[in-house]
Amino acid sequence: MCDRSLNQVIDFAESDKNYVSFKFCKLRNISFAKKLIQQETITELSGAKIGDKLNSMTCGKRGPVLLQDTILLEELRQFDVERIPERVVHAKGGGAFGTFIMTHQQITNYTKAAMFSHVGKETPVFIRFSTVAGELGSADTVRDVRGFAIKFYTDDGIWDLVGNNCPTGPVKDPIRFPSAMRSRKRNPRTHLPDRNAFWDFASLLPETVHQLMFLFSERGIPDGFRHMHGFSINTFKLVNAKNDVVYTRFFFRTNQGIKNIEPPVAQRLAAENRDYSIRDLYNAIENGEYPSWTCYVQIMTFEEAKNWYYNPFDATKVWPHKEFPLVEVGQLILNRNPVNYFAEVEQSAFNPANIPYGIEPSPDMELHGRLFSYVDTQRYRLGAHAPKLPVNRPNFRTVTPTIRDGKGVFDDNFDGFPNYYPNSYSNAKTDKHFVDPAYRVTNTPDVDRYDTTDEDNFDQPKIFWETVLNDKERKNMIQAIANHMKEAQLFIQRRAVAMLSGVHEDLGNGVWEQLRQLNTTRCT
C-alpha cells in the first residue's frame, strides 16, 4: 500500500522550488530528521551554530544570567509560544495515514470525481479520530460522539469528509450548533462538566434525541477508534460525466467489527489509561495490524428527494438502508503513523468546503454552517495559511495567486506574480470544464426563518428503539441515561423524560423509574 507519498511531496518540491518551500517539505522526511540528529551541529533559528545548549551564560557560577544569552532567550521564547489554541470541539484526537482503494465500479455512474475513476484507483488519505466535548488532555474512554474526519489527497485536490461515528448530528440548523456544543462542555461559572445544561438544552430541542439514542447505546463508548463505523452525517451531491446529479451519504463500516467498552471498564480506563484510543490505534499500526473500513454510498435521486416523507437534508435523520441500500465503493486502510504529532495531527485541519470536482454540497443546512465555520476556526487556531501546511495541502502545486499574504507566509508567495485577476501578465486562467452544473432551486421558495424544530423528531428514534436494539441494549440504555441525568434538576429531568417518552413510553418510564431509585429525595 502506498502512504501519503512523502517522496512525491519532496520530488515535487525539488522540481519546483519557486512555489513551495523545500525546507518546509523536508519536515516530512524521516531520513532527513535522522541525519540531522546524527551529523549536524545544532543551530539557532538564525542558523548560527551553537557551542553549548545546556548551560546559560551567567556572571559567576551562581548567576545571575545575562540577557545577552541569545541561546537561552530563544529556548525560552519558543517554549512560551509552542502551544496553539485547542480546537473548540474535537480537541482530543489521534490520526494516521493510509490509502483509499476503489474496489467497485458502480460509483462511476454517479460521479466524475477523479478518485472514483476506475477500480484499483488508489488515493492517499489521512484520518483524524477524536472525542467531541473533552479538552486536549481528556480521557478517551468517555461516552461521547467520536469524530471520523477523512482527508483524501485526490488528483483533483483535497476532499475533506468530516464525519462522525454516529450517523446523525445533534441539530438540524447550524444556528443551534454552538449552543448544542456549549451545553455539553463546561459550566461558565464552575468550569465543571454540566449535565444539567446537557439535559436542559437537549429537552428543549427534541431534535437532539436521535443522536442521544446513539450516544446512550452501547456504541456511545467505542473500544478505541478501530472498532467503530464512520458516517458522513451530511448529504452531498454526486455529479457524473454527463452532469447528471444524485444525492448521497457516505458510510464506512469497520472491518474490525463493532466493539464497545462497558461503562465501569471505561471509567477505570479513564483513570488508568486516558489515551486508550490513541495508543490502540498507534500500536495496531506499528504492529502491522492495519485497520480498515469498507466504504459505501447511499443514493437518492432528485425525484425521490422531492417525494420522501422526511427532509432528506436533515442531519438529524438517517436514510433507511432498505429504501436506500448501501452501494459498495472501496476500502480505506490506515498503514502509517504520523512521524510528528504536532505537525501532522495537531496541525491537521479539515474543511467540509474542500470538495473536489464531481462532489458538491446539497441543500443540507447543517452542512452549510460547516462550510463556513471549519475554515473560520482554523484561521484562528492555525493562521491564514493553514491550508498550505504539508498535512493539509494537495500533492500538487495549487495556483492561487490572489490568495496570499497574511501572517506567517512560509513560501515564495508567488514572487512578483500579479495578485489580482484577471491580469495582462500571466497565462494562469480558469477552465470552463470545471464550472459547477447549473441547477434549479425547487419552486423558488420564500426567504424566511422557517421553524424546523418540530419536524418528525421521534419517528426514527422510535424505529431504533423498537427494531434495532435488543432487550439487553434497551435496559442498558435506560441505565446509562438515568446515570447521566441524575445530576440534572428535577424540572429538567421531568422534561427530558417526557421527551424520551415521545420516543417510546417504555424508555421514558424506564428512565423515570431508575431516576427514582437513584435519587429518591428529588424524584418523589
Residues with catalytic roles: 90, 164
d(CA 404, CA 97): 28
Instruction: Give the nearest distance from C-beta 145 to ligand NDP in angstroms.
Output: 12
Euclidean distance between the first and the last CA atom of the chain, given in angstroms as a whole number: 62
325 near ligand NDP, judged by CB under 6 A: no
Q: Which residue has the cell 454526486?
A: 238
Site size with ligand NDP, rule: CB under 6 A? 17
DSSP characters for 453-509?
Answer: TTSS-SHHHHHIIIIIS-HHHHHHHHHHHHHHHTTS-HHHHHHHHHHHHHH-HHHHH
85 near ligand NDP, judged by CB under 6 A: no
214 near ligand NDP, judged by CB under 6 A: yes
Between 137 and 320, CB nearer to ligand NDP: 320
Residues numbered 114 to 173 that lie near ligand NDP (CB under 6 A) are 167
List all residues 6 or more positions away from 240 whose beta carbon is below 8 Å from its beta carbon. 108, 109, 110, 111, 112, 358
Q: Is 443 left (phi over 0), alpha (psi -120 to 50) or beta?
A: left
Between 198 and 252, CB nearer to ligand NDP: 252
Q: Is 276 labeled as ligand-binding?
A: no
Between 187 and 255, CB nearer to ligand NDP: 255
Among 270, 469, 518, 523, binds ligand NDP (CB under 6 A): 469
List all residues 6 or more positions away from 443 whose beta carbon is below 8 Å from its beta carbon. none
Instruction: Give the nearest distance from C-beta 312 to ligand NDP in angstroms.
Output: 12
318 near ligand NDP, judged by CB under 6 A: yes
* Identity of the amino acid at 481: I
x/- contact string, 164-203, with ligand NDP (CB under 6 A)?
Answer: ---x------------------------------------
321 near ligand NDP, judged by CB under 6 A: yes
Instruction: Give the nearest distance from C-beta 429 to ligand NDP in angstroms.
Output: 43
- The DSSP letter of residue 343 is I
219 near ligand NDP, judged by CB under 6 A: yes
336 near ligand NDP, judged by CB under 6 A: no
Cell readout for 230 is 464512520
* Count, residues in the chain: 524
d(CA 144, CA 165): 10
Between 253 and 274, CB nearer to ligand NDP: 253
d(CA 398, CA 464): 45
**What residue ranges bind ligand NDP (CB under 6 A)?**
167, 214, 217-219, 258, 318-322, 460, 463-464, 468-469, 473
Residues marked as binding for heme?
374
Residues marked as binding?
374
